[in-house]
Amino acid sequence: MELYSAQQRQRLNCGLRRKQHSLLKRLRKAKKEAQPMAKPEVLKTHLRYMIILPKMVGSIVGVYNGKTFNQVEIKPEMIGHYLGEFSITYQLLAVIPALLSLGWS
């Protein structure tokens, strides 16, 4: 449990909700059905608040950002973060450098 912050430990101690259990079950099934040395299929989800658990490493998840599903391949260093941290909900605008060159500050 040292992989998680205090808030995440508190949420995990209360247990996972039904949708989170369902996502874990689907991830396990996709990993099992994948060919050896092949990547599992992408599973789409809206659960941006799901904490990445060690069981999820190696899976590919499509995380909804409000418009599209961004593919996230889960790696060991992502454990303890939220899925939403890897699917940005806004676009970085190219307008800011143009405004700065015009003298705006």
Which comes out higher in pLDDT, residue 16 or 102?
Answer: 16
Average pLDDT over residues 16-36: 93
Output 91 or 67, whichever has higher pLDDT. 67
What pLDDT digit, counting tens, does each position of 31-71 carry?
Answer: 999 998 899 999 999 999 999 999 999 999 999 999 999 99
What domains are there in the chain, each with its CATH number? 6-101 (3.30.860.10)
**How far, in Å, are 15, 34, 74 from residue 40 at the CA level?**
26, 5, 11
Residues 4 and 33: beta-carbon distance below 8 Å: no
Provide the whole-model pTM. Answer: 0.79
